[in-house]
């Protein structure tokens, strides 16, 4: 459910007509809906409420959408943050996320990043290797600090998602093998500056089947039992993110947050821990669209090309994962067409949709790519010297630019000439 709807034949974000934003900010532009972000956060929190001890910590995966206004909206709603870099850590703190609600994930944390996170007083580090544990121990001990840690296990389950976003198979770089986790925790317990307090898992993204998640959670439960038998004081379990969202209205919808919550309740029965979650896509994907203008319609041999002013550098998902984003006209015309929708970048991969049946469009029309609030703006680049796309946040009948479109001069000024030129 989102708040992008047709009102009197014009697509609105909540109560704001999208043509007004396009007129003022120009295109392409990402537009986010506050009401949708807040609703998704609430629905997820309610779905997992009552699972585990106390109130679960829902830590938004910042990588999905790190815009400061989006993070501030979620911080206000009480969410924590799952971060994977110093940049994400600082953004989360800047947006007002309480440090104890921050979890640091990722396979490549550097000593400098660890120090920064320890100084900020974050709640938990999710460790992904014994080498990382040794580094964190050294960094923490040197500062007289104690890092709260959980090992992320790799449960070796097939999450059934796109290979590039699957993370829980043994050949993936993430986590430590389930079989070695007990010994790894025993060794970590003996290291200064570390307090082993939990277990973590995250098997992939855009998951449309709960069975692999439940299998992975089963392994977490077994490990908690084994760790307790070995004398560890296990008080948390971080069940990661990953729940999919509907992209293609013609496909069956992924399991609902309620179904996910019911599965979690069943899978974690008797664990006696506080649960943590790291949803990203579920919170923001359908809260954002990429608004773009048709530059021209070029006749093609197999189907016409609708050439828009957004490109693969603005929304990479279709090129990178063959991802489907629904295409909607902002002011729908009568009639239909089948077209290949492309951007101006000089690669055939700069294709948003191939021979897609869609509403008829003409040059200068506004269209939008739906479900672009997650892994959209954050994965953008300046390829082809196209400045990063601006972002707008809507709330009711108000809207604000929450990231400006940089002038192309800013790109040029970033480069410096060596003294021989
Ligand atoms: N926790 C960890 C440790 C993760 O690596 C991720 C996502 C999440 C949580 C959040 O997962 P979510 O709830 O959003 O599925 N760029 C790709 C998605 C990459 C996901 C990476 N990790 C895409 O556009 O589909």
DSSP 293-304: EEEEEE--SSS-
Catalogue all structural domains in the chain, each as residue range(s) with its CATH number: 4-32+285-414 (2.40.37.10), 34-283 (3.20.20.10)
Could you give the count of Cα atoms lying within 13 Å of 339 in the half-sphere of its Cβ?
24
pLDDT, one tens digit per residue, over 235-288 is: 999 999 999 999 999 999 999 999 999 999 999 999 999 999 999 999 999 999
Pocket test for ligand 1, best of 105, 109, 278 (most atoms within 8 A of CB): 278
Atom of ligand 1 nearest to the CA of 105: 3
Residue spans of the chain under pLDDT 50: none
Measured distance CA(71)–CA(94) in Å, rounded:
9
Q: 383 near 411, Cβ under 8 Å?
A: no
Atom of ligand 1 nearest to the CA of 285: 14
Measured distance CA(77)–CA(316) in Å, rounded:
29
- Looking at residue 171, its pLDDT comes to 83
- Looking at residue 364, its pLDDT comes to 98
- Looking at residue 280, its pLDDT comes to 98
Q: Whose CA is nearest to atom 16 of ligand 1?
A: 375
Q: How many whole angstroms from 392 Cα to the centroid of ligand 1?
A: 23
- 24 sits in which H/E element: helix 18-25
Is residue 91 marked as binding? no
Atom of ligand 1 nearest to the CA of 323: 25
Atom of ligand 1 nearest to the CA of 106: 3
Task: Compute the C-alpha angle 381/208/248, nearest 5°.
Answer: 60
- Looking at residue 197, its pLDDT comes to 98
Q: How many whole angstroms from 280 Cα to the centroid of ligand 1?
A: 6
Measured distance CA(359)–CA(339) in Å, rounded:
10
Query: Does the model's pTM come out above 0.90?
Result: yes
Q: Which of 45, 51, 185, 346 is catalytic?
A: 346
Atom of ligand 1 nearest to the CA of 280: 14
Q: Whose CA is nearest to atom 24 of ligand 1?
A: 375
Measured distance CA(286)–CA(40) in Å, rounded:
9
* Pair of tokens at residue 108: 């490549």
Pocket test for ligand 1, best of 153, 279, 280, 372 (most atoms within 8 A of CB): 280
Long-range contacts of 72-77 (CB under 8 A, 24+ apart): 72/96, 73/34, 73/37, 73/38, 73/393, 74/37, 74/41, 74/283, 77/38, 77/41, 77/42
Q: What is the DSSP string of 106-148?
A: -TT--HHHHHHHHHHT-SEEEE--HHHHHHHHHHHHHTT--EE
Q: How many whole angstroms from 347 Cα to the centroid of ligand 1?
A: 26
Q: How many whole angstroms from 204 Cα to the centroid of ligand 1?
A: 7
Q: How many whole angstroms from 40 Cα to the centroid of ligand 1?
A: 16
- 51 catalytic? Reply is no
- 73 sits in which H/E element: helix 68-76
- Looking at residue 65, its pLDDT comes to 99
- Looking at residue 84, its pLDDT comes to 98
Q: How many whole angstroms from 283 Cα to the centroid of ligand 1?
A: 12
Pocket test for ligand 1, best of 205, 244, 283, 284 (most atoms within 8 A of CB): 205
Residues with Cβ within 6 A of ligand 1? 61, 64, 82, 105, 165, 202, 205-206, 240-242, 278-282, 317, 321, 375
């Amino acid at each position: 459910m989102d708040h992008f709807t047709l009102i009197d034949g014009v697509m609105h974000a909540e109560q704001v007509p999208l043509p007004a934003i396009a007129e003022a900010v120009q295109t392409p532009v990402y537009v986010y809906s506050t009401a949708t972000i807040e609703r998704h956060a609430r629905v997820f929190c309610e779905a997992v409420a009552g699972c585990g001890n106390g109130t679960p910590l829902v830590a938004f995966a910042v990588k999905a959408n790190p815009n400061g206004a989006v993070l501030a909206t979620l911080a206000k709603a009480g969410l924590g943050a799952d971060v994977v870099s110093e940049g994400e850590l600082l953004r989360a703190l800047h947006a007002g996320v309480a440090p104890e609600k921050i979890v640091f994930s990722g396979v490549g944390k550097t000593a400098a990043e660890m120090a920064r996170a320890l100084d900020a007083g974050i709640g938990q580090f999710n460790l992904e290797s014994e080498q990382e544990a040794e580094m964190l121990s050294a960094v923490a001990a040197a500062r007289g600090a104690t890092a709260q840690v959980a090992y992320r296990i790799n449960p070796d389950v097939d999450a059934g998602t796109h290979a590039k976003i699957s993370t829980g198979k043994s050949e993936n770089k993430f986590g430590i093998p389930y079989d070695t986790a007990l010994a790894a925790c025993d060794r970590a317990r003996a290291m200064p500056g570390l307090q082993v307090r939990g277990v973590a898992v995250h098997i992939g993204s855009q998951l449309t089947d709960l069975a692999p998640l439940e299998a992975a959670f089963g392994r977490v439960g077994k490990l908690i039992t084994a760790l307790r038998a070995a004398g560890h004081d296990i008080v948390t379990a971080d069940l990661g993110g990953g729940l999919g969202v509907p992209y293609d209205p013609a496909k069956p919808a992924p399991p609902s947050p309620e179904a996910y919550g019911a599965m979690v309740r069943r899978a974690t029965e008797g664990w006696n821990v506080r649960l943590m979650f790291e949803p990203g896509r579920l919170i923001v994907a359908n809260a954002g669209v990429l608004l773009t203008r048709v530059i021209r319609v070029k006749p093609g041999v197999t189907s016409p090309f609708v050439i828009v002013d957004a490109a693969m550098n603005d929304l990479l998902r279709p090129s990178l994962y063959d991802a489907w984003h629904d295409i909607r006209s902002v002011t729908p015309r009568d009639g239909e067409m089948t077209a290949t929708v492309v951007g101006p970048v000089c690669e055939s991969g700069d294709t948003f949709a191939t021979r897609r049946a869609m509403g008829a469009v003409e040059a200068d029309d506004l269209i939008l790519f739906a479900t672009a609030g997650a892994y959209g703006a954050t994965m953008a680049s300046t390829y082809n010297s196209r400045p990063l796309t601006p972002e707008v946040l809507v709330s009711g009948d108000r809207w604000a630019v929450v990231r400006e479109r940089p002038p192309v001069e800013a790109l040029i000024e970033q480069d410096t000439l060596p003294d021989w030129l």
